[in-house]
Amino acid sequence: MTQEKAPLQSPSIDPAELAKFAALAAEWWAPDGAFAALHRMSPVRMGFVRDRAMSHFQRPQGRRPLDGLTAYDIGCGGGLASLPLARLGAAVEGIDASPEAIGAARAQAAALGLPAVFSVDAVEAMAARGAKPADLVIALEIIEHVADLRSFLEAIEALVRPGGLLILSSINRTAKARALAIMAAERLLRWAPEGTHEFEKLVKPEEITSALPGFAWEKPVGMSYSVLDRSWRLSADVSMNYLLAGARPG
Amino acid sequence: MTLRSSPRSFTAQPRSDVFISGGGPAGQTLALALAQGGLSVAMADAQPPAETLAEHFDGRAFAIAFANMRMWKALGLGEALAPHAQRIEKIVVADGRIGGPARDGVSLSHLFFDREEIAPGADGEALGYMLEYRHIRRALDQAVRAEPRIRFLAPMTVEGFEAGPAGVSVRLASGETIASDLLVGADGRKSFVRRKAGVDVVGWPYPVTAVVATVRHEKPHGGVAHELFLPAGPFAILPLTGHRANIVWVEKHKAAQALLAMREEDFLAELRPRFGDFLGALSLEGPRFGYPLSLQLATAMIAPRTALVADAAHGVHPIAGQGLNIGLKDVAALAECVVDSMAAGLDAADPSGLERYQRWRRVDNVSMAAATDVFDRLFSNDNLGLRVARRTGLALVNAIGPARRFFMRFAGGAEGALPKLLRGESLAA
Ligand SMILES: Cc1cc2nc3c(=O)[nH]c(=O)nc-3n(C[C@H](O)[C@H](O)[C@H](O)COP(=O)(O)OP(=O)(O)OC[C@H]3O[C@@H](n4cnc5c(N)ncnc54)[C@H](O)[C@@H]3O)c2cc1C
């Protein structure tokens, strides 16, 4: 996956398909739609990804600090993180198992004219067929939804090139997360449909780091939500939402 | 260089990151700030530049707070503005009867704000700067036209817009449509963007008109600004470069109409007893202008893919010369929020960024509107009891609070988190 190969206008995109998914894109990209909670996370999540990538790859300040880097956005959904990565200059491929989400992502990328590629795929399948590893791999708010964490993480490892960077974010499996993240997010604030998260599936940061011991992991960083401001900020408290960055030794 | 150098294969219409409707002082400053932050901007103004830049298009002069002056310097306007900026060294606020500022000397009902107390020395930061509208307009216009990231269309009216998940499409009088991430309404008090976005306004008209004129006087003013509270409303003498001053004279509509219509000699004859003779002989420079006053606040500063700045969001009583000043603070805050959103790879209209802008500015704007309104009521009343109370200094104590607070804000923007531009920092990455 290189800059040149990232098609600006993929031949696989059929205009009729685009139209069909435009409605879904509207849902994914409506600021007060079903995915509003994820949109609210974007400034802090993307700020973290940008800062970690800039320091890891020693990129100078600028409008396109990730220019020339290749990236996979695993579990990309409607492209909420892929499109920002494309704006920052990365040649990004978004991967999701849901054809509807991928259709929505493609429609939005097309409407914005952003050169991001999207594929209905699974990390295990990609690893098995030897997909080209990328400089940067992000998997945001996805591991809490996967069926087999270990096989998922091992497949992801194969997608990060030696010397590359992996960034994950998720919800911690703590009593506080149970009370607040699931109950508040799903029942009270109605951010996510009920049943979006199952407590047993939540992952602790140390479960990730111990599953991928070959990575040089940074300390996890917390994300806290202010109900008053309706906005997220980075914090030292990782008992709820957290972000985790690890470098694969070169 | 455009921000997104990648070709936009699917978008046939031209696209800019931000579209600004209204190229007044707020819109133009915003365009420069966003361009400095690396964004591409399209801006339309309904009026022909030949008119807006003409010598006598607008008689107002603005007292610009130094934080805003710092922003204009950070945006590269320092050199163009410097020769026209009159430093304000001292402000005298007095509860007056007709007779002029120099009449009763130092009395209990005077408030002084002296730059020397805050920033001593010959080059200490001034309390503010007086700048005539046309000089501001010209400096901004020149800078805007020299900036390749800004496409400035004038005269051009915004006639419609449609916001959707992938952007906002703005329809111009020429028939052209321009797509953007974000539409900013910097289109003044009667903001079309505000109306079309469905944002309500609250407020009321004041029964008064501000008569504005520029006078030449014999003696140097020493950079002293006077604000005198006369029965009908405030009367301000604001120092301009040279032996000149801008006067803002608030009167009931009828009286104001008469002042605007009468012959020059008659106007001067009305002016003299109010102005006093402390600056020697007076003559008029240029025409007189009338501005009916109202208080007006938009109930929101943002809507989907839309933000309102300056007079489009709030019009306050000019009693403390704050209208454009608070508008420029909006500009600094919005520019920073939008540039931050884009620096994280997000849409310029990212809802979190827009909400941050609204949180940042709303409290300040509402309290300014309320404070100017109360201040005006306290001082514009010719009720004898009030006047006596004021004279005895009882009300003065109450008045000092708001008055001091005004001029503190005025002198520097004492509020906690100042946007970068107001601290004189650049938004360039
Ligand atoms: C008497 C008086 C004295 C004042 N003194 C001071 C002072 O000392 N200090 C101070 O800070 N403030 C002062 N103010 C307030 C100040 O004048 C305003 O706050 C300031 O002009 C606001 O600037 P703006 O750019 O928001 O709006 P405006 O200056 O009103 O500009 C809006 C622009 O939008 C354009 N426009 C409108 N509709 C459209 C459309 N549909 N399409 C395209 N373009 C459009 C118009 O042509 C115009 O150029 C004073 C006001 C008055 C009345």
Output the six-digit token pair for A137.
Answer: 């791999």
Which residues line ligand 1 at a C-beta cut-off of 6 Å?
A: B 21-27, 44-47, 60, 62-63, 157-158, 186-188, 192, 210, 212, 248, 291, 310-312, 318, 321-325, 327
pLDDT at B411: 46
Return d(Cα A116, Cα A142) in angstroms, integer. 20
Ligand 1, pocket-test mutation among B30, B57, B58, B60, most atoms within 8 A of CB = B60
pLDDT at B11: 43
Indicate yes or no: CB of A230 within 8 angstroms of CB of B350.
Answer: no
pLDDT at B261: 97
Return d(Cα A145, Cα B7) in angstroms, integer. 36
Inter-residue contact B45 to B24 (CB < 8 Å): yes
Give pTM, 2 decimals. 0.88
Percentage of chain B surpassing pLDDT 90?
Answer: 54
How do strand B177-185 and strand B167-172 relate by DSSP bridges? antiparallel
Minimum distance, in Å, between the CA of residue B246 and any CA atom of chain A: 43
More confident call, A199 vs B141: B141
Q: Across residues A169-184, what is the average pLDDT?
A: 80
pLDDT at B103: 47
pLDDT at B381: 52
Q: Is the pLDDT of residue A132 over 80?
A: yes
Q: Which residues of B touch A35 (CB under 8 A)?
A: none
pLDDT at B320: 58
CATH 3.40.1380.20 fits domain A15-247:
no
Q: Across residues B73-88, what is the average pLDDT?
A: 96
pLDDT at B272: 93
ipTM: 0.86
CA nearest to B359 within chain A: A229
When pLDDT is cut at 50, 70 and 90, the band that residue B293 belongs to is: confident
Tell whether B13 lies on the interface with A, counting CB pairs under 8 A. no
pLDDT at B343: 95
Output the six-digit token pair for A25.
Answer: 């894109």
Q: Which residues of B touch A8 (CB under 8 A)?
A: 6-7, 9
Indicate yes or no: CB of A86 within 8 angstroms of CB of B10.
Answer: no
In terms of Cβ atoms closer than 10 Å to its own Cβ (0-12, 13-18, 19+), residue A213 is exposed
Q: Is the pLDDT of residue B160 over 70?
A: yes
What crossing angle do the helices spanning A36-56 and B323-343 adopt, rounded to 10°? 70
Q: Across residues B373-391, what is the average pLDDT?
A: 51
Inter-residue contact B313 to B330 (CB < 8 Å): yes
Q: Is the pLDDT of residue B376 over 80?
A: no
pLDDT at B424: 83
What residues contact residue A152 under an 8 Å CB cut-off, 6+ apart?
A123, A124, A143, A146
- One-letter amino acid for residue B382 of the chain: D
When pLDDT is cut at 50, 70 and 90, the band that residue B406 belongs to is: low
pLDDT at A234: 95
Q: Is the pLDDT of residue B143 over 90?
A: yes
Q: Across residues A59-81, what is the average pLDDT?
A: 95
Tell whether A46 lies on the interface with B, counting CB pairs under 8 A. yes
Q: Is the pLDDT of residue B1 over 50?
A: no
C-alpha dihedral, A59 to A60 to A66 to A67, nearest 10°: -110
Least confident among B144-153, B225-234, B334-343, B345-354: B225-234
Q: Across residues B230-247, what is the average pLDDT?
A: 89
When pLDDT is cut at 50, 70 and 90, the band that residue A182 belongs to is: low
Domain extent listing, chain A: 15-247
Q: Across residues B262-269, what is the average pLDDT?
A: 96
Tell whether A64 lies on the interface with B, counting CB pairs under 8 A. yes
Ligand 1 centroid vs A136 CA: distance in angstroms?
Answer: 48
pLDDT at B196: 98
Please give, one letter per residue, the 3-state secondary structure of B131-179.
EEHHHHHHHHHHHHHHCCCEEEECCCCEEEEEEECCEEEEEECCCCEEE
Q: Which of residues 163-192 of B touch A (CB under 8 A)?
A: 164-167
Output the six-digit token pair for B4.
Answer: 């997104």
Spell out where chain A has E strands. Answer: 70-74, 91-96, 117-120, 134-140, 160-171, 216-217, 221-226, 231-235, 241-247
Average pLDDT over chain A, rounded to whole? 86
Average pLDDT over chain B, rounded to whole? 83
Q: Across residues B347-358, what is the average pLDDT?
A: 94
Counting every residue, how long is chain A?
250
Q: Across residues B84-106, what is the average pLDDT?
A: 68
Indicate yes or no: CB of A84 within 8 angstroms of CB of B344.
Answer: yes
Q: Is the pLDDT of residue B387 over 60?
A: no
Q: Which residues of B touch A86 (CB under 8 A)?
A: 345
pLDDT at A17: 55
* Residue A197 neighbours by CB distance under 10 Å: 21
| Alpha-carbon Rg for chain A in angstroms | 17
Q: Is the pLDDT of residue B390 over 70?
A: no
